[in-house]
Amino acid sequence: MKRFLKIMTFTLALGLLATGCKREKIDFQGGGSEQDEMGYLILSGMNLDVNVDAEVRETRVATAAPGSYLVSITNVSTQKEAYYGTYDDVQSLTEPLALPAGTYKIEARSQVSEPWAEFDKPVYKGSVEKTIESGKSTEVRDLVCKLANIKTTVYLDDALKAMFLEDGTNDVKTYVSLGDNTLRFTKDETRAGYFKAVEETNTLTINLQGSYNAGTAAAPDYKPVSMTKTISGVRAGQWRKIAISVKHSDEGSVSFDVTVQNWVDDEQIDVDVMSGAYTFGEEVIPDEGGDEPNPAAGLSIVWDGKDIKQRYPTSELNGDGCVIIKVHSDKGIQDFTVKISGDVLSAQDLEGLGLAQEMNLINPATEEMNGMLLNLGFKTRDDVKDAHDLTFDISQFMPMLTALGIPGNCDFELTVKDSDEPEGTVVETIMLNVQ
């Protein structure tokens, strides 16, 4: 009987979702006054540090943030700002902040706006999310700000500079661009350029121009040259160190070596060397991230921000965006099934909800099943068939699983197929522990 009542509660929650209430708070414990819904965020002991890179070191150095850094607190669900001030203001707080229960993003940044492209204008920011529970206090201890824009430096070796005209009219120069924003690096430029990362991955374009001596020192013969190279896969927080040198010069042509080192946080991630004359093709530098599948290649299923190979307790999955799944297929998705197993939802329970232990997202067995899948955050039918990139958010399912009061494991096995070839099927499992 008790299990039946809990399943009925779960069914009621699904019904609320179906009637457009999925963004509202579902109160399974009964009502309460506004004061009862308040929790407290303690900021007085927060340490705000900044990871600042050093030109001469191979690590980034964490230092205490200046008091002028800006701190904001925003409700993740409503996007309503609950606090805004400086780090100095935060350090002077003597009382906890009273906030309505919910998940909040605490963000610190070095300045309000981020320039599109400027020299010596790094922007540092960092954030952490905390869940505020009614009548309880939550403390923010450590928050680290890291580079938020893309850092670029350009180095031209002495042999290259010696070959190029230096009369003030057509000196060798290097242009680095991201979209419509360009910085010009002179031959002896020592400043770093910083670009705003407009996308998750960005493309930098390098263009070197000038007139080089195709003759001899006694009888110079200067000829114009323009070399272009693109670097893709560039992300916020990375430092692309661009070095250009002369490979050889003969018979009226010149060839260059372009070396791009990618530094991020406190380690050198990759070193890429490309050689060629005048124009270079696209270069793809592998992203950091360990063994996580690259969603831009082949066929893959990725849990955004999480390691899909690990099991997570539902207590750690709070707020919107905690369970976002991204699927990529170069060829287009042809079949997508979801299999539910574990201790929490039995076959009988699922059947009572209009669901089943195994369901096909492209061809749901019934209209009721299709509707329930949509209410849970899955996508179905034409939104899945032949899709190359698919994103679905089942975050709202987490509090409902917890509300059942049935502890144990609950797994969602996802099987995606885009061809009959051996590599045309991928299987990943969202592994949860309901607490």
User: Hey, what long-range contacts does 11-20 have (CB within 8 A, 24 or more apart)?
Assistant: 11/352, 11/353, 13/400, 13/403, 14/353, 14/372, 14/375, 14/376, 14/400, 17/375, 17/376, 17/396, 18/371, 18/375
Separation of alpha carbons 421 and 418, rounded Å? 9
Q: What is the DSSP letter of 164?
A: B
CB-CB contact of 134 with 39 (8 Å): yes
H and E: helices and strands count for the chain: 6, 29
Q: How many beta carbons lie within 10 A of that of residue 297, not counting itself?
A: 10
Residue 272: per-residue pLDDT: 40
The candidate with the shortest Cα–Cα distance to 265, out of 6, 38, 61, is: 61
DSSP H/E element including 155: strand 150-156
Domains in the chain with CATH codes? 2-18+290-434 (no CATH), 35-147 (2.60.40), 150-284 (no CATH)
CB-CB contact of 174 with 208 (8 Å): yes
* Residue 234, CA distances (Å) to 152, 198, 304, 339 in order: 11, 10, 19, 37
The candidate with the shortest Cα–Cα distance to 140, out of 197, 91, 175, is: 91
Q: Looking at the DSSP assignment, which residues form a beta bridge with residue 232?
A: 284
Residue 267: per-residue pLDDT: 47
Sheet holding 299-303, edge to edge: 299-303, 324-329, 389-393
Give the distance between the most distant pair of CA atoms in the chain.
100
Q: Which tens digit of pLDDT belongs to each residue from 34-56? A: 455 889 998 888 888 887 754 43
Q: How many beta carbons lie within 10 A of that of residue 388, not counting itself?
A: 12
Residue 276: per-residue pLDDT: 35
Residue 227: per-residue pLDDT: 83
Helix, strand or coil, per DSSP, at residue 414: strand
DSSP H/E element including 97: strand 97-100
Residue 313: half-sphere exposure toward Cβ, Cα within 13 Å: 4
Q: Which tens digit of pLDDT belongs to each residue from 363-372? A: 999 988 988 8
Residue written as tokens 């209430």? 21
Please report the beta strands in 159-278, taking only residues with DSSP state E, as ranges in sequence order: 173-178, 181-186, 193-195, 202-213, 222-234, 238-250, 253-264, 267-276
Segments in the chain below pLDDT 50: 1-2, 5, 16-34, 54-59, 251, 266-297
CB-CB contact of 375 with 17 (8 Å): yes
Residue 192: per-residue pLDDT: 94
* Residue 271, CA distances (Å) to 59, 64, 237, 284, 362 in order: 16, 31, 17, 11, 43
